[in-house]
Amino acid sequence: MKYLFFSIFLFLNTTSIISQNIQVKVIDENTKYPIAYAAVKIDDFNGVISNEEGFFTLSTENLINVTISCLGYKSKNFSIDDIKKNNNIISLEEAINELNTVYISNKRPNVDSIISRTRQRLTENYGTNLYKYELFSRQTAYIDFKDLNFEVEKASHFKKKNLESANRSLDSLTRAIMNSKTIHFKDFKADLYVNDSSKIVVHKATELLDQKNSLSFEDVQKKGQNVMLKYLDTTLTYKLKTGLFKIEDSLSLKEDSAKNKEKNEYQINNLRGETNSILIHSKFGEGSMLTNILDNNLYEYKLESISNFNNELLYVISYKPKKSRSKYTGKLFITDENYAITKVDFEFADGKRGEKFNLKLILGVKYVENMRKGTIIYQKNLQNKYQPQYIKYEEGRYFYVSRPLKFIENSPQKNKTSFDFTIEGNILTKEELLLTSSTKISPEQFQNIKEEKTVPYIKLSKYDPTIWGQERTLEPLEEMKQFNSTVKEN
């Protein structure tokens, strides 16, 4: 009876949450294409943003009207009833390109002068320290294995039959891993407090992945090791030695029933570090990416058009490297009134790369960061300072590792079994940060914030639209909504 009551309560509560939420799509009035990164204002300084497919979700509780605005489009106010009557679709009208009709002092705007004034007003336009940010973070990671090879090379007193069987098992493991599609989603809702340092208070966190098919580099190595252990003497323990390091702890082939299960917890300092690393891309500090982009010694600029946002004129300026140490190309959206940057698009220019090292011949390792791009959108707060509202940062990395592994018996004979494995592939990571509000705080408020060491996360095997209730979050893309692991949770 108690279980039945709980089930009915849970059903009614879930139904209530769904009924109070509304999913909306923003499209171009003429082309009908979805509009990404449209700002959805609930009040003057709070709201959400449409995702790359044009969708956003709002709680309709106590909400009457919303304002939708996007660069290059005319802003519009909508009532919730109007949105529902239009099948939850909002159409925005494109703003006219006014480059050929708008002039300052009867002259076409000078792009170098615009960039210079923008640099001069950075301190005036942007606030950094003593802020509390309410935020939602989503991290998505993909691994694509291009090549994987295991092979037993040497085996002291290793029977030929076992050797053949081990290699067959390793071949089977290789095929399974190569056919796997590793994708991982990590979401969390938090308050970030920023002074000279930062503190984070995480309210909820989730992890969505396929436990069977999601593999890290360490997982691949461990699976290969486990195959090898099946063919070794189960009465002994072993030391594992590689070409890069030695593991001092012994590996036992006997099951350890007392071993604790892995806790579903994130380390708070890791989440804080990840959030800061994304947020730092929106800062205009000395030597930062954005400050360098505004250096006309490093970049050349072109005035592409004049657009508008919330009835404010914006200069749309493209930029590209002028010198070899400049890496990025993209667009800047700068206000005519106060020369503030409201949006930045950036990506590696042709032929540019990030971190890389090639020790393939010496250590069997190669790494190249071959893709980096992102978008940063700002909005003005109560103090008339521009704060980041949305940040997307993507990285693509190629990796190659060829590693010899050797199992050494903990016995007087110290028999050895060696095998090599080579792994090659690409990792793509996408980090998104939605800052739903920013509030000025005092030094005392910052000092009084206490961080926990860990935060539990909810492990999901498929997307759950009710997991965040009425919280303001990023609407998932279709790939996340359709994600459904074949492994049932315990």
Provide the sign of the torsion angle of the four alpha carbons 251, 255, 260, 262, taken in this order.
positive
pLDDT > 60? residue 428: yes
Task: Provide the 8-state DSSP code for 429.
Answer: E
Average pLDDT across the chain, whole number: 80
pLDDT computed for residue 228 by the predictor: 67
For residue 260, pLDDT over 70 is answered with: no
Predicted pLDDT at 5: 39
For the record, the structure tokens of 141 come out as 């990671």
φ and ψ of 443, to 5 deg: -60, -35
pLDDT per position as a tens digit, 188-202: 999 999 998 999 999
**Per-residue pLDDT tens for 350-405?**
999 888 877 776 667 788 899 999 999 998 887 788 999 999 999 999 988 787 77
Neighbours of 369 (CB within 10 A): 15
- What are the structural domains, with CATH classification, of the chain? 2-104 (2.60.40.1120), 131-456 (no CATH)
Whether pLDDT at 98 is above 80: no
- pLDDT tens-digit map of 134-181: 999 999 988 887 877 776 665 655 666 677 777 777 777 777 776 666
**Is the confidence at residue 282, as pLDDT, over 60?**
yes
Answer whether residue 13 shows pLDDT above 60: no
Four-residue CA torsion sign, 59, 140, 282, 92: negative
Task: Using the predicted structure, report yes or no on whether residue 341 has a pLDDT greater than 80.
Answer: yes
Q: 215 vs 159, 361, 376, 426, 472, CA distance in Å?
A: 31, 26, 31, 13, 31
Q: Which range among 43-52, 115-124, 277-286, 432-441 shows the weakest confidence by mean pLDDT?
A: 43-52
The SS3 assignment for 261 reads coil
Predicted confidence at residue 235, as pLDDT, reads 65
Are 206 and 187 in contact, with CB atoms under 8 Å apart? yes
The pair of structure tokens assigned to 220 is 């691949």
pLDDT band at 457 (very low <50, low <70, confident <90, very high): very high
Where on the phi/psi map is residue 439: left (φ > 0), alpha (ψ -120 to 50), or beta?
beta
Q: By three-state DSSP, how is residue 211 classified?
A: coil
For the question of whether the overall pTM of this predicted structure is more than 0.85, the answer is no
